[in-house]
């Protein structure tokens, strides 16, 4: 294994509350994750990214941290975490922690001290500002969860900034002591064997120190990728708090620390940026910023077309060097892919299954690393919950315009016939498990050779054997819509990746001789030289070696 393992890693995202409950209280925990490490290794993951499990009052389910160096008791103990890391490493899985450094809980001791007066040692560890002349907030900045991004604190007699909940005050990254304290947090976990950090909303770390108002979004300026059409936060262009250039200059300290722990890396979340690709590229450029970043480019509310995917891939080729991009179809913050495309998925079962396989194949063929959110390998649809069932503060505050994040956070179905679908050793779960998830449970799909789960396993393990996918460049090949076609690799390691992004059959002529089909049973492409025949949502991967070497 090299120090650059992360460039083509398959990272499995775990939302711990919903993965596996080992003690019967209805909430997933660290020991539950440990029980299922074998499943993740068998799937073909290289690393697991675990959403926050450190101490928190849980106003935002762990993304409001009250102690960066303590385990939240509902998830287990530090001994449980150490055992998880050891066993993961024994199975060849690296462990990535979610680090929420843009803000803390308002119960964190740093904030308790900061709000106590205007002249205490941590007085400027957070972003404080006086009221505007009319007594209101300093400007028009909005919180992503709704309402003003400023809350009045009567004890200190000032407003504090919070880009998320009012219980999540923003740290002041311009303060050197704040960055030093967070670097010590990083060192604490790196010393325990953690292999890297996913940095929550890293492009929110700094703010416009002049506190100028954000402009309203003109009617002709589209919303960013992944932004909901009714999300009022994006009624504004949020330049005061999102993707500030000042953040880039402050990342060198963290990068130096990570470089002192060979083999570790940083994965940045680029959120709410006007141009997520350009912003992500900025955050990973050179050797003094982040190692890699994921973005919302594939988190679309509309199905991909040949044109949109071609344009996206061309921009990636132009913007990113050395595969420093991470792809994902979804995370714990977005409706599941099938939920976003629900109005477009009115096909027979076989066509639906072809689309699922096409997306799995496309994900492993793209350059860089990729994240798979738990349950996406099962093809879980978005859960439909009533208002009374919601637990997400974002969803509750914005209901019914925005349904929130609970629909993608329901517990993992392990056993179709078991109580709580095998999620818990007890008889309860913190969110309900939809009936439509039960036929897609792990045990059912493991027994079905043609299941999506087994397709993912096959693709991910095969990907590890292909130098052309692990390190090869991407070159778009001109093809008529709806067929997307590109090459990966160089010389004898070249692969030709072909995807029919349509419900209708398609044909494409392969002008160069010598190509042979790989994975024909899974992808169902049919090559009668020089024509490649693809059914609805058909795919094909062609290689330059003799056919027998692909099996």
Q: Which of 253, 275, 443, 493 is catalytic?
A: 253
Cβ–Cβ under 8 Å, residues 122 and 174: no
Annotated catalytic residue within 98, 153, 167, 200: 200
To the query of whether residue 167 is one of the catalytic residues in this protein, the response is no
**Phi and psi torsions of 198, nearest 5°:** -90, 120
The rounded distance, in Å, linking the Cα atoms of 228 and 301 is: 8
Going by C-alpha positions, the residue among 527, 369, 546 that lies closest to residue 460 is 369
Return d(Cα 522, Cα 541) in angstroms, integer.
10
Per residue, the 3-state secondary structure of 246-287, as one string, reads: HHHHHCHHHHHHHHCCCCCEEEEECCCCCCHHHHHHHHHCCC
Checking DSSP bridges between strand 10-14 and strand 47-50, what pairing results, if any? parallel
Q: What is the 3-state secondary structure (H, E, C) of 117-164?
A: CCCCCCCCCECEECCCCCCCCCCCCECCCCCECEEEECCCCEEEECCC
- The SS3 of residue 156 is coil
For tokens 């010393």, name the residue: 191
Nearest-angstrom CA–CA distance, 391 and 385 = 10
Identify any residues that bridge with 371 across adjacent strands, giving them in sequence order: 11, 328
Residue 107 has, within 13 A of its CA and on its CB side, a CA count of 13
| Angle between the N-to-C axes of helices 176-190 and 252-259, in degrees from 0 to 180, rounded to the nearest 10 | 20
Q: How many residues does the chain have?
A: 551
Looking at residue 241, the DSSP 8-state letter turns out to be T
Q: Is 386 exposed, middle or buried (0-12, 13-18, 19+ CB in 10 A)?
A: exposed
Strands 67-71 and 54-55: antiparallel
Active-site annotation holds for 269: no
**Closest to 452 measured CA to CA, from 381, 506, 385:** 381
d(CA 276, CA 297): 7
Catalytic residue annotation? 200, 253
């Amino acid at each position: 294994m090299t120090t650059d393992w992360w460039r083509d890693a398959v990272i499995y995202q775990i939302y711990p509350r919903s993965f596996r409950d080992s003690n019967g209280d209805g909430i997933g925990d660290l020991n539950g994750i440990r029980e299922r490490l074998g499943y993740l290794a068998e799937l073909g993951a290289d690393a697991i990214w675990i959403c926050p499990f450190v101490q928190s009052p849980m106003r935002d389910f762990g993304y409001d941290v009250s102690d960066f160096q303590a385990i939240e008791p509902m998830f287990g103990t530090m001994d449980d975490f150490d055992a998880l890391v050891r066993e993961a490493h024994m199975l060849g899985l690296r462990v990535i922690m979610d680090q929420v450094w843009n803000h803390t809980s308002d119960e964190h001791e740093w904030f308790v001290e900061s709000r106590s007066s205007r002249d205490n040692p941590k007085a400027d560890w957070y972003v404080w500002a006086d009221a505007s002349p009319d007594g209101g907030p300093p400007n028009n900045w909005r919180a992503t969860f709704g309402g003003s991004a400023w809350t009045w604190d009567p004890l200190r007699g000032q407003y504090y900034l919070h880009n998320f909940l009012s219980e999540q005050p923003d740290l002041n990254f311009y303060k050197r002591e704040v960055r030093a304290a967070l670097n010590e947090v990083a060192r604490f976990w790196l010393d325990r064997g953690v292999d890297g950090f996913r940095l929550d909303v890293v492009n929110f770390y700094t703010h416009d120190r002049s506190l100028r108002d954000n402009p309203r979004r003109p009617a002709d300026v589209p919303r960013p990728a992944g932004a909901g059409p009714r999300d009022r936060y994006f009624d504004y262009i949020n330049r005061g708090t999102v993707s500030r250039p000042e953040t880039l200059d402050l990342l060198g300290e963290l990068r130096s620390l990570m470089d002192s722990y060979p083999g570790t890396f940083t994965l940045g979340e680029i959120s709410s940026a006007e141009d997520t690709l350009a912003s992500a590229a900025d955050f990973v450029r050179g050797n003094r910023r982040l190692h890699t970043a994921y973005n919302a480019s594939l988190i679309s509310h509309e199905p991909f077309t040949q044109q949109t995917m071609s344009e996206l891939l061309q921009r990636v080729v132009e913007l990113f060097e050395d595969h420093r991009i991470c792809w994902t179809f979804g995370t714990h913050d977005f409706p599941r892919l099938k939920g976003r495309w629900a109005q477009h998925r009115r096909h027979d079962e076989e066509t639906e299954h072809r689309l699922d396989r096409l997306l799995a194949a496309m994900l492993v063929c793209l350059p860089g690393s990729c994240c798979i959110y738990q349950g996406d390998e099962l093809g879980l649809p978005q859960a439909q919950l009533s208002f009374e069932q919601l637990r997400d503060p974002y969803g509750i505050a914005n209901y019914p315009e925005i349904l929130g994040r609970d629909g993608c956070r329901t517990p993992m179905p392990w056993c179709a016939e078991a109580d709580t679908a095998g999620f818990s050793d007890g008889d309860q779960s913190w969110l309900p498990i939809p009936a439509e998830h039960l036929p897609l449970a792990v045990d059912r799909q493991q027994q079905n050779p043609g299941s999506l789960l087994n397709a993912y396993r096959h693709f991910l393990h095969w990907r590890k054997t292909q130098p052309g996918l692990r390190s090869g460049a991407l070159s778009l090949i001109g093809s008529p819509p709806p067929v997307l076609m590109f090459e990966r690799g160089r010389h004898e390691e070249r692969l030709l990746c072909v995807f029919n992004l349509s419900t209708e059959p398609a044909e494409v002529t392969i002008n160069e001789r010598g190509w042979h089909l790989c994975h024909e049973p899974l992808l169902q492409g049919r090559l009668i030289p020089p024509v490649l025949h693809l059914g609805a949502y058909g795919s094909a991967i062609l290689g330059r070696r003799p056919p027998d070497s692909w099996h």
